[in-house]
Amino acid sequence: MKKLRAIALILFVGGCAFFLAYRFLQPPGPGQGGQESPRTTDAHCNQSLWQYVYNPGRLQVLNACISVTGAVEEVRKEADGDVHILFRLDQQFASLLNEKNISRQQGDLVLELICQVKVRQPDAAEPCSQYNGPYFDPVVGQRYLVWGVYVHDADHGWNELHPVTSMLPIEATLP
């Protein structure tokens, strides 16, 4: 009887170990972080950039580190030193947009590249005073893979990646 219990226990533990190994070593499927939803990893997001964000209290963090793909539609230099980008998301990321993104940002996600240009707003000068990168040179029409903190901007009501931590050009794919 003891032998049978020992074999049952070994089979149970082995089965649990196999299930956990299978579960955690499989690539994500649709809706689990694959192409159907934003990818997440802290390795691509530099959390120390928060110290340079102007008025961070207005930003509600929805996801500390995500990646998205899409194309730059518009680039604006802001008085607080940030570059504000309207970013046309690829279709699989449309769920990141809210009503204000659609009505006030032309259906785009806002990307905030912090401390990229000369600060013209006196109360925003301090956060950027010690900033030393990363710096970006976004090109309108170019497709990118972008990493950053996904936030809701309570002052404006739309969703953003703020701050953006990485912005890599990618090739356009043909249908």
DSSP state of 116: -
Say yes or no to pLDDT of 11 above 60: no
Domain-located, residue 18: no
Residue type, 18: F
Domain-located, residue 100: yes
**Rounded distance between C-alpha atoms, residue 41 and residue 67, angstroms:** 8
Residue type, 104: R
**Max CA distance (Å), the chain:** 81
Please report which confidence band the pLDDT of residue 27 belongs to, taking 50, 70 and 90 as the band edges: very low
**Rounded distance between C-alpha atoms, residue 128 and residue 126, angstroms:** 6
Domain-located, residue 3: no
Domain-located, residue 73: yes
Domain-located, residue 60: yes
Domain-located, residue 77: yes
CATH number (domain holding residue 124): 2.40.50
**Rounded distance between C-alpha atoms, residue 109 and residue 161, angstroms:** 8
| 107-159: pLDDT as tens digits | 999 999 999 999 999 999 999 999 999 999 999 999 999 999 999 999 999 99
The pLDDT of residue 7 is 62
| 60-102: pLDDT as tens digits | 999 999 999 999 999 999 999 999 999 999 999 999 999 999 9
Number of domains in the chain: 1
**Rounded distance between C-alpha atoms, residue 44 and residue 127, angstroms:** 22
The pLDDT of residue 55 is 93
State both tokens at 7: 């074999």
The pTM of this model reads 0.74
Residues in the chain: 175
Say yes or no to pLDDT of 54 above 70: yes
- Specify which residues 75 forms β-bridges with: 85
Q: Determine the structural domain holding residue 122 and report its residue range.
A: 42-169
Domain-located, residue 50: yes
The pLDDT of residue 18 is 45
> Which residues, including other chains, have CB under 8 Å from residue 17's CB and lie 6 or more apart?
none
Domain-located, residue 82: yes
**Secondary structure of residue 96 in the 3-state scheme:** helix
The pLDDT of residue 93 is 98
